Structure 1
Amino acid sequence: MYINEKLINLSLVLLIFMTIPGLVNAASTTPVDQKDLSVKVHYTSPELVEPAEVGKFDIFEMTFEHPADYGEQNNFFDIDITVEFVSPSGKIREIHGFYYDTIAVDNSLWKVRFAPEESGIWTYSYSFTYIPTGSQTTGNGTFNVIEGSNPGFLRQNPVNPFRFQFENREPFVPIGFNTCISTNNIQQMDGGDRSGVFGGKISTDIFLQSYNQAGFNIFRFSQSNCSPDLVDESLSIYYKDNAMYFDLLMKQLRTNDYRIFFGLFGYLLPNNSDVPPQSELFCFIDYVINRWGAYIDIWELQNERSAYADWIKTVAGYLREWDPYNHLITTSFPQPELNEIEINTPHWYLHENVLDSDKVTSQQAKLWKLQNKPVIVGEHGNSSAESEPGNWMTDSALGMRIRSWTAFFNEISLIFWNNSGSTNANSGLAANIYLGPIERQYVHILQWYSNMVIQNDLRMSEVELFDDELMRAYGLTSEEKVGMYFHHYDNHKNILSEKIATYNFPFSGKGYWISPATGMKLGEVVFASGINSLTIPDFVVDIAFLGVADSLLDTFNTDPIAIAWILNLQADGDLDNDGIRDYGPTYLPFGISPLFLIYFTGISTDLDGGSLEYLWDFGDGSRNATRKITAHRYSTGNYFTNLTVTDNESRKASFSFIVRVSDSSDAEGDGTLTLSGLQDITVREGELVLISPHTNELEDDEETGNMNNSITYTATGIPEGASFGERGETWGSRKNFWWVPSFSQSGSYTVVFTVDDGNGISESKKVEITVLDAIPLN
């Protein structure tokens, strides 16, 4: 580890706070500069009920407080925190700590994070050492790990090398996205080409929840790739506020059931550098492992950077040696021929004829799989001419549906680069993709299907067609499941009727025909073991088949699908009433107040025939439990609208989107203001509170660079130690509320945020912040 030799006064008072605490033995102290080190242990996690228990693979976090101010300097490498964890079976895991933040003058926080892989009683012993003098304090304790719901980290499937499974051997089918991030806790979702009036800003929590409901389950990001840097180009200056935001984002991702695909360097390092890795690089890798190793599933060395094989071997080898969790390793540009690279992660942007979407996907998959390694397309989306918007096109939703289904049947996975704040963004070669309500519904259906058919022994298989001049077919088979996918590549207008497919089933069972567009069941068939000729139900674009062995039918219970088609009665192509036809789909849920939307939910499906109950939450305080057709009138504002479907076995599925409604006099952003991004928060002492208020009016636009200096944000009731507009990224008038409550600040706080347009119109909203005690356990 790189050491900065700057001396500090080691007058320590060491308090240990545990996000997931346990039983604590008396800690030993060693005189240092005539001072004794005292130790306390506290419970700080808001999620846990039993303070002495943690779920297997969940995060055990220790927070150390000590009286020295490290600020923005790198002298925090003068401190080494080492914790030795011993499992119930006697395995030893050595985990190191990292500097977190300074919460007051001469009062800094340090953390250790660990994900235990065994259930039972664990023991630990720690040392907190000032390296220049060797002075240290030590302590030890125990905690209980229970069998929780976390399946563990991602691993390569040992039966099929192109698939993934968790450590508990549960199969996993990745489909994910990238998106730009900043230390504003804001994302872009369900926006349109509305000159800012219908912009797509939304809080990160709601954003992640909505995409996960749709089936997205892996999130790729890194430093220095449309994201903040963690360290400067010399790898010697660390940016702690950016790292704190990454902490918060990873917690939000895990809370919303995402697996994390994390890039260490992004674009930070130069192409094909002939400089061997230096000590600063290894020091940064140590830091990243210590800080986020307990969260990560996949390490990516670089993003779209060429690197010499020796550099990759050295860096990946170091990562493999020191990563206690043995996470999978990849890099971009991909070099799957190297043994150290365990996943092939190409980037793929295109705008093909949708009649060929399955063909080009299948052809690419064959090339990418030549090294017999899993394939995750690390960035996927549309491409377009320089002069044309490319993230949304009239056929891009259909193309991504066909490519996504074909990718699953060809044993590869896609991670889209998501750009959903507007429908007219990103002209040029890599145009990213708009993942709005219709695109998310397509993913929702695919993931519902893939979770039903996936088994660890699932492999590609042949489907024979009597008429292959009109459609192409793809097959998957295991000992108990069969899947088939058919695409009508001749045209997407005429109905294909009475087409025959022949398949050699390894078992007898029952089959279901399913629409990839709606998830509806289109038919059923009983088949025998061996060769069967199946009549395909009528279809126009594509159709899927799920076959289930007789041995599974008695226990074959499926989750429902939550699908709602939207009818926008203002859908005249000019939703902002500016006299110019808007670019984008007219069905999207935004318009001028009052906005009247009709939702059709009757196509929601439960494959095993269960009855369904529907519950709409319109986001404005009203709800509706109507079955098939629901209508709702919205006034001015932004509304997180959610449909939940429950079957007769209490299995649930949800789907959500944002309804955006502007006042008719506010088409230019000079009328009623809507303040968003605010919700009540509960945290423990020592945990970051980040609030990013925003409005969807015509304010500062990070993508276009347009500045509206008349918009201002203010906050009152700011607690001691908190700031508004001083930490994290700001853009023009936008500000962050940033606060790490100290260990004497438990209680309730009310902060009032106000936005003002400079023309006499403003709106205020309050946020209740509840800070829970760091409960002492010793």
Structure 2
Amino acid sequence: MQNILLKAIPSLKYWMFVITCFLIPLSGYSIDRKSDTRHAANLSKLIRVTEKVGRYRTFEASITNNKTYENKFTAVELLVQYQAPSGRLIDFRGFFDGDGKGSGNLILGNVWKMRFMPDELGTWKYVYRWTDGTPGGKGSFDCTAQGQGKGVLQAYLKNPRWFAYNGTEPVWLKSYYETGHGSIGQDFNWIVDNVYSKFKEHGYNHLQVNWLLSLCCFKQYYLDGPAPQTLDLALYQEGKASSTMNFDVWKRMEQHLSWLNNNGINVHMFLGVDGSRNEGPVWEKLSAEEKDFFVRYMTARLAPYANLAGWNFVWEVDGNRESHELGFTRLVQKYDVFNHLRTYEDEFPRENHYNLPEYTFAAIENHQIASPEKAEERTLWRDAWTHHMACKLGYRGKPVFMSEGNALWRRFWHERVNATQDDLRRSAWACATAGASFTWNGHAKEYELYAGGESGLPFNDKNPFTASEKAIDIIAQIMHNDIRFERMQPNDELLSEHQTLRVYALAEPGKQYIVFAPQGENFALKLEKGSYTKNTWVDAKTGRRTAAAAVQSTGSEKPVQFKAPDATTDWVLILKGGL
């Protein structure tokens, strides 16, 4: 009984929240500021508030603070406590934003902002305070079902090979590597019309990008678009994050991220926070205090966007360095109250550190699968089986994302390893049947970047890689419409009587199977006992479908033999029993 009574009494933290609400003036709401002129220069005031917010969308409020500080990034912090409709309390922070319109510096500007992502319907309350004792305030907003998003990508709780919104709603990622580093310097509406809208029209729900946390490569913009409005796109000057933040860059990044968020497209940052690999600001040039500041500031600005689909340090790092990627990820884990995905990108996933609790998914390449020497295996980087094995080796109980599959990128890799569109299609299937997600790219160049034409996005008749886009779409359609992918696991051990490392199986044994057979290769498949009557052969190039005969299995040790309709194309066999 005593335990029941204790549970019925609100927590001390709750009563402190209630008392604070009464003690702190209602800044920006009911108080008449003209009646208090004695301390007007020192008071803070809510000036702009989002009063209604869709669930999993971004609440924002702007606050003026007219006090003078030597460095407004560090001399004072804006701390906020939010109370959910259920009574749950969440502590977060706001951030200094110059004049609130993309200008200002460590001295100039008087606008701070608070952002938040509500996950419960109903009225949310919040109390804000300043760490230097400047009077704070309180307010509220309504979280509505109208205009709500899906939430934050996490590992699927029931089968962590796959991603799911909030861990419960599985989603198959149709992902593209959009490489316009400097595109945030171009006219935003042109980028929406000629780049992002194309992805939305073709069903993409995920982009890997280089402009989020902008540090380098600013001349990589769309040459068939308008001239850049600016090439000054570095977030901060090396070693001086807490005094040189570029508000215009933050504004531009957030404009892009917000549009993608509102249109259901998740974003994975590829280049991350260490510019050392790309002639940008070097992470290790930041002191421990500067690193801590940067992550606090970064999470305050970006974490309230639900579509942030992976904090990443940078490409091709070790995974276990406290001074670099591991330390960064620990800071993110500390300050990101929304628990967005966290990773490091591993070039050699044969041995990895994805077992560490700081990492919540794996981002990998397909190197060092056949040999520890690059020179020995370079000719194999175009092969589908290296992608398949890399995905299986990268799995440590968390989703695997093939971030840089060499056959999957026309940009950079195809001309280096002589990969073809056949290799791209087969490598995509190799990842999918390994129970992994992947991103691909149909651009021709790193520089000389175009949105349209032969070398641009693969959505126009002039671009030969529209064939690859169709092949990726066939995978997406099968995953979305033909099977329950979230129940399935890679099951190559069920296969026999085929050429080694060429045929792959994904299965929920006894219920559903997918087998990828390049060039119609014959194979045998061990099936659980049962009747499989909803069976189809799908041409992986064209999507053409051919009915497959019903199969009755006794569940004996003898596998069932299958022969594809022909050997002129790659085939996918879908077998379905009692789902």
Contact persistence 2:537–2:546 (CA under 8 A): yes
Q: Percent identity?
A: 18
**Structure with max Cα Rg:** 1
Give the match for residue 7 of structure 2.
Answer: none
Match of 1:541 among 556, 563, 569: 569
Q: Deviations over 1:240-261 (max 9, x none)?
A: 1111111111012223422122
Deviation of 1:518 (Å): 1.3
Deviation at 1:415, TM superposition (A): 2.5
Alignment of 1:323-362 (within 5 A): 323-333=336-346, 335-348=353-366, 357-362=383-388
Determine the structure 1 residue equivalent to 2:470.
Answer: 441
The one of 515, 520, 529 aligned to 1:485: 515
Change (3 A) 1:325 1:63: same
- Alignment check: 8 A CA contact 2:379 2:417 kept: no
- Measure, in 2, the Cα distance between the counterparts of 1:425 and 1:38: 46
In structure 1, what is the equivalent of residue 40 of structure 2? 35
Deviation at 1:547, TM superposition (A): 3.3
| Alpha-carbon distance in structure 2 between the residues aligned to 1:271 and 1:292 | 20
Alpha carbons of structure 1 residues 482 and 67: separation in structure 2 relative to 1, 3 Å:
same
Letter in 1 for 2:328: V
2:487 matched to 1:457? yes
- Alignment partner, residue 184 of structure 1: 185
Q: Select which of 293, 302, 320 maps to 2:333.
A: 320
- 1:83, 1:246 → 2: CA distance? 24
Matched position secondary structure for 2:566: coil
Aligned equivalents of 2:496, 2:291: Cα separation in 1: 59
Higher helix share: 2
Find the aligned partners of 1:368 and 1:42 in 2 and give their Cα distance: 46
> Could you say which residue in structure 1 is the equivalent of 2:238?
233
Contact 1:229 1:239 survives alignment (8 Å): yes
- Note closer, same or farther for the CA distance 1:158–1:32 as it changes in structure 2 (3 Å cut): farther
CA distance in 1, matches of 2:509, 2:54: 32
Aligned-partner Cα distance in 1 for 2:415–2:237: 31
Counterpart for residue 420 of structure 2: 396
Extract unaligned runs of 5+ from structure 2: 1-25, 219-232, 348-352, 368-376, 459-464
Listed as ranges, the matches of 1:497-516 within 5 Å are 499=522, 501-505=524-528, 508=531, 509-516=533-540
CA distance in 1, matches of 2:192, 2:378: 29
Could you tell me the TM-score, scaled by structure 2's length?
0.72
Instruction: Output the CA distance in 1 between the equivalents of 2:392 and 2:296.
Output: 36
Q: Take 1:341 and 1:210, find their aligned partners in 2: how far apart are those partners?
A: 32
CA distance in 2, matches of 1:362, 1:449: 19
Task: Indicate the SS of the match to 1:203.
Answer: helix
* Residue correspondence of structure 1 range 588-737 to structure 2 within 5 A: none
Superposed CA deviations along residues 7-41 of structure 1, whole A, max 9, x for unmatched, are: xxxxxxx997xxxxxxxx63597968532858566
Name the CA shift for 1:186/1:534 in 2 (closer, same or farther; >3 Å): farther
Match of residue 22 from structure 1? none
Q: Which amino acid aligns with 2:504?
A: Y
For residue 351 of structure 1, report the CA deviation from its aligned partner. Answer: 7.5
Quote the Cα distance in structure 2 between the aligned partners of 1:423 and 1:542.
Answer: 33
Change (3 A) 1:302 1:548: same
- Structure 1 spans left out of the alignment, 5+ residues: 1-13, 17-24, 45-51, 188-200, 427-431, 552-778
Matched with 2:18 is none
Separation of aligned partners in 1, 2:167 and 2:392? 29
- SS at 1:160's partner residue? coil
Please state if 1:26 is matched with 2:55.
no
1:114 paired residue number: 116
Conserved 8 A contact 1:214-1:440: no
Contact 2:408 2:439 in 1 (8 A): no
Matched, 1:521 2:528: no
1:98 to 95, 99, 111: 95
**Greater relative contact order, per chain length (Cα 8 Å cut-off, separation 6+):** 1
Q: Which amino acid aligns with 1:35?
A: A
- Shift of residue 434 of structure 1? 7.6
Distance 1:333 1:389 in 2: 17
User: What is the alpha-carbon distance in structure 2 between the residues aligned to residue 213 and residue 39 of structure 1?
Assistant: 42
Q: Determine the structure 2 residue equivalent to 1:738.
A: none
* Deviations 1:249-307, CA, capped at 9 Å, x for gaps: 10122234221223541324899988895111100100110000012231112333457
CA separation of 1:539/1:111 partners in 2, compared to 1, >3 Å: closer, same or farther? Answer: farther
**Distance change (3 Å), C-alpha of 1:147 and 1:456:** farther
Structure 2 CA distance for partners of 1:28 and 1:372, relative to 1, 3 Å: farther
Matched, 1:251 2:258: yes
CA distance in 1, matches of 2:432, 2:260: 23
The CA deviation at 1:156 is 1.4
Q: Deviation per CA, 1:121-176: give whole Å up to 9, x if none.
A: 3222233x3x5x52223132242333765221111123333222111611122333
- Contact 1:156/1:163 (8 A) holds in 2: yes
Alignment pair present for 1:309 and 2:335 = no
Taking the aligned partners of 1:448 and 1:120, their CA distance within structure 2 comes to 36
Equivalent residues of 1:515, 1:542 under 8 A apart: yes
CA distance in 2, matches of 1:280, 1:456: 41
* Counterparts of 1:101 and 1:149, CA distance in 2: 30
Task: State the aligned residue count.
Answer: 490
**Residues 484 and 144 of structure 1: CA distance in aligned 2, closer, same or farther (over 3 Å):** closer
Q: Is the 8 A contact 2:513 2:576 kept in 1?
A: no
Looking at structure 2, the residues matched to 209 and 481 of structure 1 have their Cα atoms a distance apart, in angstroms, of 38
Letter in 1 for 2:365: H
CA contact (8 A) 1:460 1:477 kept: yes
1:267 aligns with 2:295: no
Residue 219 of structure 2 is aligned to residue 211 of structure 1 = no
2:305 corresponds to 1:279: no
1:210 and 1:259 mapped to 2: Cα distance? 15
Match of 1:744 in 2: none
Q: In 2, are the aligned partners of 1:83 and 1:95 still within 8 Å (CA)?
A: yes
Deviation per residue, 1:393-422 (Å, 9 max, x gap): 985222111100110000222233563469
Query: Which stretch shows the higher mean deviation, 452-461 or 315-324?
Result: 452-461
Q: Which deviations, in whole Å up to 9, do the C-alpha atoms of 1:457-496 show, x marking residues without a partner?
A: 21122476674149943222237852323333xxx5xx76
Q: How big is each residue's C-alpha offset from its partner over 1:544-563, in whole Å with a ceiling of 9 and x where there is no partner?
A: 12334455xxxxxxxxxxxx
The one-letter amino acid paired with 1:367 is L
**Structure 1 position 86, deviation (Å):** 0.8
Measure the CA separation in 1 of the matches of 2:477 and 2:181: 28
Equivalent position SS for 1:510 = coil
Residue 162 of structure 1 is matched in structure 2 by: 161
The two structures have a TM-score, normalised by structure 1, of 0.55
- 527 and 463 in structure 1: CA distance in 2 versus 1, 3 angstrom threshold: farther
- By percentage of residues, which structure has more strand? 1
- The answer to whether the 8 Å contact 1:272/1:305 transfers is no
- Give the counterpart of 1:378 among 383, 403, 425: 403
Aligned residue identity for 2:176: G
**Contact 2:535 2:576 (C-alpha < 8 Å) held by counterparts:** yes
SS in 1 for 2:535: strand
What is the alpha-carbon root mean square deviation over aligned residues?
A: 4.3
SS of the residue 1:345 aligns to: strand
The answer on whether the counterparts of 1:162 and 1:375 sit within 8 Å (CA) in structure 2 is yes
> Is the alpha carbon distance of 1:534 and 1:284 closer, same or farther for their aligned partners in structure 2, counting shifts above 3 Å?
same
Name the CA distance, whole Å, in 2 between partners of 1:32 and 1:304.
Answer: 57
What is the letter of the counterpart of residue 260 of structure 1?
A: V
